[in-house]
A = this chain, B = another copy of it.
Amino acid sequence: MASMRDVAKRANVGLGTVSRMLNDSGYVSEETRSRIEAAMKELDYTPNELARNLYHKRTGIIAVLVPNVSNTFFAGFVDHVEYELYKAGYKMMLCTTEKEFNAEMEYLDMLNRHIVDGVITGAHSLAVEEYRKIHKPIVALDRYLGEDIPVIAVNHKEGGRLAAETLIRNGCKHVLHFCGKVTVESPYHERHFEFTRIMKENNIQTYNYELGRNRLDSEYYKKVVEDVFAKGIEFDGVFGVDRPVIECMNEVIRRHKRVPEDVKFVAYDGTFITEMVEPALTAIVQPIEDLAKESVKLVCSLVNGKVYKNKQVSLKVELRKGKTTII
């Protein structure tokens, strides 16, 4: 489908000019008009998009579902996905499922009713069965939703291994490990399993602190850290997602312990906030931009009729040495 952008480009005029002509909202010279009309004809551009959608059963809209965009990982993902969709000629509808009961179901319903052409979901609130009922373009970030739905994730097992080896290399003996609930079928649990396995193998005492599901707000993480110290948990190494690790490190600093001499920290995700704190965190970094690019590439090919069976895209993670580990 040719876009207004294409018409403007072909006619070698600005978007504003094309818009003014189509909407009769301002002066456009006769000569320019004919150039634009020619371009529209060549590109078979239909200005009445709603009517065109009804005909094509296409809206050019992809829905993106994430728990929220306050979390820096999802914010970065949404930022890149929106840009990639834009370049592919799609608009993005954003839905945050953390606060909105039933929203995930509603968007799947919009998919069924041709309001959106496809869905990229990083949400974790709906039963997998609901997804299995739908045979439409859906791409899942970090979640198993059935053999027809491609899964995009980093190699979380590798991530867990890198984190474990880093803390071991740094001589940690008592490790605090923030991990997510294992209620959702997600590849990211592999990082916890692998981390725990290696720790056990090396006889390193590990305290697994289970975080609540879809709880990504500041207040919650501060409570988690208070709870850790209230429980009197002893640790010389910490591993978990960015936010709780940062809150934990700040409390350790407030208690006048030295980082990294007394306590080592390794963050998972490695979003910009891990480089914004002092000392900068050693982190296992997820390639957010590539995750976005792959998600968009897949959803576009699904929209264009491609069919996948048990498709899984696995991307590399990277260990970024910060100042919260020594070696």
Fill in one digit per residue for A106-130: 1 if any B CB lies within 8 Å of its CB, else 0: 1011101111000000000000001
Q: How far apart are the CA atoms of A272 and B246 in the complex, in Å?
A: 12
Stretch at the interface among A97-105, A139-147, A151-159, A298-306: A97-105
Contact partner of A95 (CB less than 8 A), chosen from B19, B82, B113, B272, is B82
A98: min CB distance to chain B, Å = 9
Q: For the complex, is A51 an interface residue (Cβ under 8 Å from B)?
A: yes
Contact partner of A4 (CB less than 8 A), chosen from B22, B70, B76, B109, is B109
Stretch at the interface among A86-94, A163-171, A198-206: A86-94
| Contact yes or no, B133 A20, CB < 8 A | yes
- The oligomer's copy count stands at 2
A91: min CB distance to chain B, Å = 6
| Contact yes or no, B109 A82, CB < 8 A | no
Stretch at the interface among A182-190, A226-234, A260-268, A273-281: A273-281
| Contact yes or no, A82 B53, CB < 8 A | no
In the complex formed, the residue of B with least CB distance to A280 is B250
| Contact yes or no, B79 A69, CB < 8 A | yes
Q: For the complex, is A212 an interface residue (Cβ under 8 Å from B)?
A: no
Contact partner of A19 (CB less than 8 A), chosen from B72, B75, B108, B272, is B108
Which of A94, A103, A130 has the largest count of B CB atoms less than 10 A from its CB? A94
In the complex formed, the residue of B with least CB distance to A24 is B112
A47 contacts which chain B residues (CB < 8 A)?
113
Fill in one digit per residue for A273-295: 1 if any B CB lies within 8 Å of its CB, else 0: 10111100000000000000000
| Contact yes or no, B75 A100, CB < 8 A | no
Report A226-247 residues with CB < 8 Å from chain B CB: 243, 246-247
Q: For the complex, is A38 an interface residue (Cβ under 8 Å from B)?
A: no
Q: How far apart are the CA atoms of A97 and B105 in the complex, in Å?
A: 29
| Contact yes or no, A276 B275, CB < 8 A | no
A239: min CB distance to chain B, Å = 18
Contact partner of A113 (CB less than 8 A), chosen from B49, B91, B99, B105, is B49
A58: min CB distance to chain B, Å = 10
| Contact yes or no, B115 A5, CB < 8 A | no
Q: For the complex, is A176 an interface residue (Cβ under 8 Å from B)?
A: no
Q: How far apart are the CA atoms of A154 and B273 in the complex, in Å?
A: 26
A96 contacts which chain B residues (CB < 8 A)?
79, 82-83
What are 26 residue pairs bridging A and B, where the CB atoms are less than 8 Å apart in the complex?
Answer: A4-B106, A5-B106, A15-B105, A23-B113, A26-B133, A47-B113, A48-B113, A49-B113, A49-B115, A50-B53, A50-B113, A61-B93, A68-B79, A69-B75, A69-B78, A70-B272, A72-B75, A82-B96, A86-B100, A91-B95, A91-B110, A92-B95, A93-B93, A246-B276, A250-B278, A253-B278
Binding site for B on A (CB under 8 A): 3-5, 14-16, 18-20, 22-23, 25-26, 47-51, 53-54, 59, 61, 68-70, 72, 75-76, 78-79, 82-83, 86, 91-96, 99-100, 102-103, 105-106, 108-110, 112-115, 130, 133-134, 218, 243, 246-247, 249-250, 253-254, 272-273, 275-278
